Amino acid sequence: MYPDLNLFIGGKWRKSQSDMAVLNPATEEEIGRLPCATQQDLDDALEAAVKGFALWRNTSPRARADTILRAARLMRDRQEEIATSITLEHGKPLPQARLEVIRGAEFFEWDAGEAMRTYGRVIPAAPGHKFTVHHQPVGVVAAFSPWNFPMSQPARKIAGALASGCSVILKAAEETPAGAIHIAKAFEDAGLPAGVLNLVFGNPADISGYLIPKDPVRLVAFTGSTTVGRHLSTLAAQHDTRVLMELGGHAPVIICEDTDVQTAAASSAVRKMRNAGQVCTSPTRFFAHESIFDDYAAGFVERAKATIVGNGMEEGVEMGPTANERRVPVLTDLVEDACAKGATLATGGARHGEKGYFFQPTVLLNVPDTARIMQEEPFGPIAVINPVSSLDHAISQANSVPYGLAGYAFTNRADYIDQLIDRVEVGNLSINTLEASMPETPFGGVKSSGYGREGGTEGLDNYMDIKNVWHSATIT
Ligand code: NAD
């Protein structure tokens, strides 16, 4: 059920001179060998993308949308096969992988519709003159997607680029290549012209370092950590290349005293453990009003302890392993640091089992501001729950990190909601739900969480240049 792994360049699948192992994080067994692109492969991908762009930018938006929709239909038809590959390489429970496939298809479907709505505008002008504004695809996109959502992360980038009329060279995550490979297969079968979508793998720093300075590359689209995003932005700036950056988050959740405490607590624990906490919008810093703190924390800990942890292929499993070996020591260190500084470990805090990269669902209470986890995104199944004395206190805690991606609150008070909308520094605020985005809503961060938006009516803006045309009827 795991696909053969190849590069996809100029409409053809190819192996390379060297390859690397892809492991199942639940069993640590090798499930595939992934080819690593050589410089010749990257040059071929650049040449193919230039040709693909020349063709695709002159393809009508409706024809582009038709191809994208055909590919999305194939992804839906292949849901079980794609979901199984995702669970094998990433570890998430199969039902969550199935939902990811549908979400990936929805990103394509939304952007396909937007392809036909990249409207320009007419600006009033003097008689004999016309000012018109046109949106035109930016060119070849170098895109880099991470391993936490093997299908929906590449889908976001490919959908935006292809709907806008750009061609793409995507370097998907080496740990989880199958999601992107299934997308490329669906586009091949849907009749996408050769060179419009190219897929490479290898050493991430070598590939970004080689591609970003190249002349045809007009946009760098990256999702991943703030550190790497900053590095790629710096490189792009040296070549005056635009960037779209979806970076880290460290989402706060404000639990007000008027909420239904037990329902909010159970919902929070379930959402925290989804994808083993490896989501840039994952709720992590929970600030509960002191009058309800004990009840909320008790409800959260009870539900977190009940999480069924195991191999994502097994029925009933709620949380799989973390996606790679690197996560476990990072998470262990964050817990040890918090406890050394005075936090209370209410549950979890260590590796789970002996095989696979599992980490226990973990809850830390009363964590001091000096603990590293109050500033560093854990990107794993760890929650911090702290008491706050007022909404002002909660908002100042929420805003106390450099990140600003997602933020959440539980309350029904209109005056609180007004304050939250005005003052919480995030790109996506959700009230009474811990869902952060849909294909039709713009997604992205403020502060160190990045710039640009994916999805919504704003999504294609990143992939388009704006051209103003001044047309005078006579020579002036
Ligand atoms: P990392 O920073 O090394 O890598 C993050 C992603 O960037 C990976 O997919 C990696 O392949 C890619 N990458 C790394 N160096 C690169 C380079 N020079 N050029 C191009 N791509 C490069 O961290 P990691 O250990 O893989 O992941 C942990 C951290 O990454 C987390 O703490 C989290 O902040 C962040 N992350 C964020 C998201 C997100 O959705 N925003 C997704 C995955 C990881």
- What pTM was estimated for this model as a whole? 0.97
Report which ligand 1 atom has the smallest distance to the Cα of 247.
41
Percent of the chain whose predicted confidence (pLDDT) is above 70: 100
Helix (H, G, I), strand (E, B) or coil at 170: strand
Residue 404 has pLDDT above 90, yes or no: yes
Kindly state if the Cβ of 154 falls inside 6 Å of ligand 1: no
pLDDT band at 110 (very low <50, low <70, confident <90, very high): very high
Res 314: pLDDT: 98
CA of 228 to the centre of ligand 1 (A): 7
Kindly state if the Cβ of 445 falls inside 6 Å of ligand 1: no
Paired tokens of 214: 């190249």
Q: What is the CA radius of gyration of the chain?
A: 23
Kindly state if the Cβ of 246 falls inside 6 Å of ligand 1: yes
pLDDT band at 371 (very low <50, low <70, confident <90, very high): very high
pLDDT (average), residues 407-426: 98
Q: Which of 89, 246, 425, 454 is catalytic?
A: 246
Res 64: pLDDT: 98
Res 168: pLDDT: 98
Task: Give 3-state DSSP helix, strand, coil % of the chain, rounded to 5.
Answer: 40, 25, 35
Kindly state if the Cβ of 379 falls inside 6 Å of ligand 1: yes
The reply to whether 246 belongs to the active site is yes
pLDDT (average), residues 33-47: 98
Q: Would you call 95 exposed, middle or buried from its count of C-beta atoms within 10 A (0-12, 13-18, 19+)?
A: middle
pLDDT (average), residues 234-261: 98
Q: What pLDDT digit, counting tens, does each position of 168-189 carry? A: 999 999 999 999 999 999 999 9
Residue 164 has pLDDT above 90, yes or no: yes
CA of 205 to the centre of ligand 1 (A): 11
Res 142: pLDDT: 98
CA of 93 to the centre of ligand 1 (A): 22
Nearest CA to ligand 1 atom 27: 225
Res 238: pLDDT: 98
> Is the separation of the CB atoms in 381 and 274 below 8 Å?
no
Res 1: pLDDT: 86
pLDDT (average), residues 105-130: 98
Kindly state if the Cβ of 328 falls inside 6 Å of ligand 1: no
pLDDT band at 224 (very low <50, low <70, confident <90, very high): very high
Nearest CA to ligand 1 atom 44: 224
> Which DSSP state fits 350?
S
Q: What pLDDT digit, counting tens, does each position of 55-95 carry? A: 999 999 999 999 999 999 999 999 999 999 999 999 999 99
Res 244: pLDDT: 98
CA of 225 to the centre of ligand 1 (A): 5
Q: Which of 174, 280, 318, 377 is catalytic?
A: 280
> Which DSSP state fits 2?
P
